[in-house]
């Protein structure tokens, strides 16, 4: 029942998004964004499903930041839909490869799988609404909305999407092509006086904070920010470790990633809330997804607040100054 309900919610959300796109009701907030950030946002959402299907995921990202003018949430959604599509239509234990190929004036985001492929006679209409590739025994099919939504979102960003496949059972390659933009000029760092640092540190009482994130560098950076404010931080990088650390340390606040390698953040939060010790602990979701459905899922799991990555220092500081009883709220979406 839980799986079917989750599937139904996703299908309805896709229908609503498609309706908003077709009626011009989606407004993009396009800013200079790296392709690496878009990929990270997409993986945050779809990695648990790829793991569930026991696929091998190969990621080839350039070390140098690749800049595009994009709405991070919507482009992350587009790439996630393609990865989700590859996972659905690839038999269990398959291989999915995501490559970023920068060119002179554009960049290619290529998602390749060794799944059921796309018949030659369907490749011209695979992005049409409600079009599906038929496959015997495939119970993962949806309504044929996802690829149509991806096409619209990519075109709203001035890009295009193509598909290549040698036919049935030959795998497929979906490629998003987007124009490049120049890297934004770096603003000089503002000088911070000792008095300002002292004020920031003492703006809130010291808290014991558990930071859970499978991205080690991201967890360390968040920890450094919070230690600057005078808090004590402990790191965990998967769901099982998070539960063990929480039980051992009894932290005041838990910053909990959603896309974790074993138990996802929703499940970790539910297990914590089931224990008396953590009934009133402040648990904050940190994720690459900020749509209404993601906030609703976080609320249902027992999170107090929902933050969208990348986290901002002032955003976290505002939450830590709030009471733990949920009587106040702040803008945690941006």
Each residue's pLDDT tens digit, 234-262: 999 999 999 999 999 999 999 999 988 88
CA-CA-CA-CA dihedral for 201, 202, 207, 213, to nearest 10? -20
Residues 168 and 205 in one domain: no
Specify the 3-state DSSP secondary structure of 281.
coil
Residues 146 and 218 in one domain: no
Contact 280, 302 (CB under 8 A): no
Residues 139 and 282 in one domain: no
Residue 66 lies in a domain: yes
Residues 134 and 219 in one domain: no
Residues 54 and 97 in one domain: yes
Q: Which residues span the domain enclosing 287?
A: 194-320
Residues 292 and 172 in one domain: no
Residues 161 and 38 in one domain: yes
Residues 30 and 159 in one domain: yes
Q: Which residues contact 152 (CB under 8 A, 6 or more apart)?
A: 18, 21, 22
Residue 98 lies in a domain: yes
Residues 266 and 170 in one domain: no
Residue 7 lies in a domain: no
Residue 254 lies in a domain: yes
**Mean pLDDT of all residues in 310-323:** 74
Residues 289 and 315 in one domain: yes
Specify the 3-state DSSP secondary structure of 36.
helix
Does position 334 have pLDDT exceeding 50, yes or no? no
Each residue's pLDDT tens digit, 93-151: 999 999 999 999 999 999 999 999 998 888 888 888 766 766 554 445 555 678 888 99
Each residue's pLDDT tens digit, 137-192: 444 555 567 888 899 899 999 999 999 999 888 999 999 999 999 988 765 544 54
Residues 141 and 247 in one domain: no
- Which CATH number characterizes residue 247's domain? 3.40.50.2300
Q: How far apart are CA 148 and CA 126, in angstroms?
A: 8
Q: How far apart are CA 75 and CA 78, in angstroms?
A: 5
Number of structural domains found in the chain: 2
- Which CATH number characterizes residue 45's domain? 3.30.565.10
Residue 107: strand pairing partners: 102, 178
Does position 333 have pLDDT exceeding 70, yes or no? no
pTM: 0.57
Q: Please, where are the H alpha helices in the chain?
A: 2-22, 35-52, 72-88, 146-156, 194-201, 216-228, 239-249, 265-273, 292-301, 313-320
């Amino acid at each position: 029942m839980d799986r079917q309900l989750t599937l139904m919610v996703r299908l309805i959300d896709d229908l609503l998004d498609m309706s908003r796109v077709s009626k011009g009701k989606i407004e993009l907030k396009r800013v200079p964004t790296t392709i690496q950030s878009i990929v990270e946002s997409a993986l945050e959402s779809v990695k648990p499903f790829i793991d569930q299907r026991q696929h091998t995921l190969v990621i080839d990202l350039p070390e140098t930041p690749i800049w595009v003018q994009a709405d991070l949430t919507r482009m992350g959604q587009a790439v996630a839909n393609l990865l989700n599509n590859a996972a659905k239509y690839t038999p269990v234990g398959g291989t999915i490869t995501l490559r970023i190929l920068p060119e002179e004036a554009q960049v290619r985001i290529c998602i390749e799988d060794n799944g059921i492929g796309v018949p030659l006679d369907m490749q011209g209409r695979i992005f049409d609404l409600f079009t599906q590739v038929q496959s015997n025994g495939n119970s993962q099919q949806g309504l044929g909305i996802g690829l149509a939504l991806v096409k619209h979102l990519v075109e709203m960003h001035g890009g295009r999407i193509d598909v290549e496949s040698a036919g049935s059972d030959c795998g497929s390659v979906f490629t998003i092509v987007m124009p490049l933009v120049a890297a934004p000029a770096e603003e000089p760092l503002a000088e911070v006086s000792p008095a300002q640092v002292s004020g920031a540190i003492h703006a809130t009482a010291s808290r014991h904070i558990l930071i859970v994130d499978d991205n080690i560098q991201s967890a360390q950076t968040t920890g450094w920010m919070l230690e600057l404010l005078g808090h004590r931080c402990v790191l965990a990088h998967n769901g099982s470790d998070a539960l063990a650390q929480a039980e051992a340390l009894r932290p005041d606040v838990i910053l909990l990633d959603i896309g974790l390698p074993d138990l996802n953040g929703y499940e970790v939060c539910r297990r914590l809330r089931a224990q008396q010790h953590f009934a009133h602990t402040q648990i904050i979701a940190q994720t690459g997804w900020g749509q209404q459905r993601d906030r609703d899922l976080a609320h249902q799991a027992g999170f107090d607040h929902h933050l969208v990555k990348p986290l901002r220092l002032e955003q976290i500081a505002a939450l830590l100054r709030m009471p733990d009883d949920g009587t106040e709220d702040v803008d945690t979406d941006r």
